Amino acid sequence: ELREAVERVGRPSNDEEDKTGVYRTASARVHLVLNDPACTVIDGDGLKFSVNLHRLTAPHITKIDDCALCACNNLVDAFLPSTIIVRKFAFGQSSSIRNITLHPDHKVMHDAFSACCSLYVLAASTGFEGEVFDKVGLPTFDSTHITHYIGWRNDNDRQKALFYLMKLMLKQEPQEEKGLHAFLYQNQDPANYILTFLCGEKRGMGDLRNLSKPELYKLAVAMNVPFFDAEWWSSLPGNHGTL
């Protein structure tokens, strides 16, 4: 029901699903927000093959079940700060996704991000390398390096948010004579220099999450990042063209 509601947004009444029960093209860019505290699980296959889903914000979800967000090829961002359990192939084949926020203590199945092509490129650009093909040239479903990349990226985002907050504290006179705020205010010049460096600190090629699909594709070619056959990617619902 949830998937059907997302897919019907902006879609003409005469636009029919194909013979597999899937829409081939998107009719809208949907930002799905799940704010109900009672909604803690996205069930298996729940949003599978959604072509309209563009962003997902679900602060109370603790578990993403098997294939729940599989092949959502226009999904770029998933904000899931309470999600601890990410099951088998949960985001598998969602080729556009490049930004995922999970709980710091997440437990992710090794194949949860299998065939997430954009994440393969982003992970490689920051030094998290993994094998996409096995010894006989077949796709492997081990995306553990993607999980490591996401964990590092989440930690980095949280730290930068704290550093930016500290920079704001430099501009406001503290109400207390002691404490962090007072220390930063009394040492504005060195504190500002250090915090500016930390806010801009990068690993590898830096934060490339805002690159377009064509730009990520060019980067993948330049870095010789292995990814799946372009014709196969193009055949997936909502996933026309490279990456």
Quote the tokens at residue 128.
């998290």
pLDDT in tens, 125-179: 888 876 554 444 445 567 888 999 999 999 888 888 887 777 777 778 877 878 8
pLDDT in tens, 185-238: 778 788 776 767 666 667 788 889 998 877 887 888 788 776 544 555 555 555
Q: How far apart are CA 117 and CA 220, in angstroms?
A: 10
Mean pLDDT for the chain overall = 83
Task: Find out whether 83 and 103 touch, Cβ atoms under 8 Å.
Answer: yes
Runs of H (alpha helix) within 113-204: 117-125, 144-169, 180-186, 188-200
Q: How far apart are CA 22 and CA 9, in angstroms?
A: 14
pLDDT in tens, 90-134: 999 898 899 999 999 999 998 899 888 889 889 888 888 765 544
Pairing mode of beta strands 99-101, 77-79? parallel
- Helix, strand, coil shares, percent, the chain, to 5: 35, 10, 55
Helix (H) or strand (E) holding 236: none
